[in-house]
Structure 1
């Protein structure tokens, strides 16, 4: 186990949850491939200097999530089949737009501090889009929830002028690298009308919601991104042997 994934007994997150996060990340990254066994309970205990019950609690979370299966005589076997996909780009919307030669624009619709399950959370609601001369077209309606324990004073930045992910990288040393998002359809609301204008011909909007993580598997942001009906989204399929794997053109914060 590398130092990057060393467990930290001084971190507020319990050791079993840290171990679960570490193992989960290695499974999702393919370091522990489907059909292979993760390190044994004894190995994990000895490497990290933790108790067997800590290891068992971490593995139980992996089993519950369907990432591994415990098989007598074989150990704890990875059952996760990776699917390569991303929804926009993890430089963030701003970097993505600039890379395409577009001028990104943001309208901050609201900025509030709320009580989260483990402390104060900054909630940002932003309309994101591009400008051509004086015309602004908003393509996304982004809602972000960020833990202020990890990002103290984040609420003081001007997110109409600054990129959220750029601030995370440059001021906090945190780089978002992975998302786990669920696609759904959401109805019209005051916020969608504020961002996209009246769209009575559209029965609903595509929404991607879920969590964003850094390279160590720590939560960076909870997000919900609603897409304008004028945005074209391309979906393709690539095959590796006999297994089809969906690939989506990059999308998000």
Structure 2
């Protein structure tokens, strides 16, 4: 039963309860929830209250509604703050079926654009790491990351599938992250992106670039990754002169 005397609205209490059950594994991806009447009777609330809670959970990506069939567990957003330094592997909490797979890792000579981005001479050697991030066996993110040779000697020997490169940068190489610049754009998937992300050519993708700097304002990492747009919710909160931007990315479990 929900707390009828609580200052928190009943529909919000029901939302919190259902999300908690999804996280706890009471309901799994594809499971059909009890109907409005069943939930109303179970929690001692009105069907109108249930309807509002379910509607908001559909809007937030936790549930999907199928006319004539009912409401099903869809996926829940996994939050990535655009103001944070971490990569997507830093959101792997060990309880979700997420993975990263290395497509390639090679040494390349920095071209003009990459050299400018990393603040290095053109032609300087850089490690180029390409990975696909998946959840439940379904790819959702294509990551292209660049690491300066002189800052990360021996990096290929340390990077494997599911390795957190940020943990390596911080703990193994002693990098201190002071600032990150992130830029978001939108593109349509080409033939290569559609093949690697198992989507249809022309599907929308978020294109996100990130440059991380140390305390001396020196670029120490650059990445450019693509995320399936239907797996993301991009929100911005402005308080006074402070802007907080977040990327919520929807998971299938």
2:125 aligned to which of 117, 120, 123: 120
- Residue matched to 1:145: 146
Q: Is the 8 A contact 2:232 2:248 kept in 1?
A: no
- Structure 1 residue 92 corresponds to structure 2 residue 87: yes
- Residue matched to 2:104: 110
Change (3 A) 1:104 1:198: closer
Deviation of 1:239 after TM superposition, in Å, equals 2.1
Within 5 Å, which residues of 2 pair with 1:172-211? Answer: 172-200=173-201, 202=203, 204-211=204-211
Deviations 1:20-48 (A, max 9, x none): xxxxxxxxxxxxxxxxxxxxxxxxxxxxx
Change (3 A) 1:198 1:218: same
Question: Structure 1 unaligned runs (5+)?
Answer: 1-84
SS at match of 2:142: strand
Deviation of 1:143 after TM superposition, in Å, equals 0.5
Deviation of 1:215 after TM superposition, in Å, equals 3.5
2:134 aligned to which of 122, 129, 132: 129
Deviations 1:78-131 (A, max 9, x none): xxxxxxx952742432221217x424300112211101225210011111133x
SS at match of 1:107: strand
SS at match of 1:94: helix
Change (3 A) 1:183 1:161: closer
Cα distance in 2 for residues equivalent to 1:128 and 1:88: 21
SS at match of 2:145: strand
Q: Is the 8 A contact 1:110 1:125 kept in 2?
A: yes
Cα distance in 2 for residues equivalent to 1:174 and 1:136: 32
Higher mean C-alpha deviation, range 101-110 or range 149-158: 101-110
Change (3 A) 1:87 1:127: same
Cα distance in 2 for residues equivalent to 1:120 and 1:87: 28
Change (3 A) 1:97 1:183: same
- Residue matched to 1:82: none
Q: Is the 8 A contact 2:191 2:201 kept in 1?
A: no
Within 5 Å, which residues of 2 pair with 1:155-170? Answer: 155-170=156-171
Q: Moved runs in structure 1, 4+ residues, more than 4 A?
A: none
Q: Is the 8 A contact 2:190 2:202 kept in 1?
A: no
TM-score in terms of structure 2 length:
0.55
Q: State the superposition RMSD in angstroms.
A: 2.7
TM-score in terms of structure 1 length:
0.55
Cα distance in 1 for residues equivalent to 2:129 and 2:149: 12
Q: Is the 8 A contact 2:187 2:207 kept in 1?
A: yes
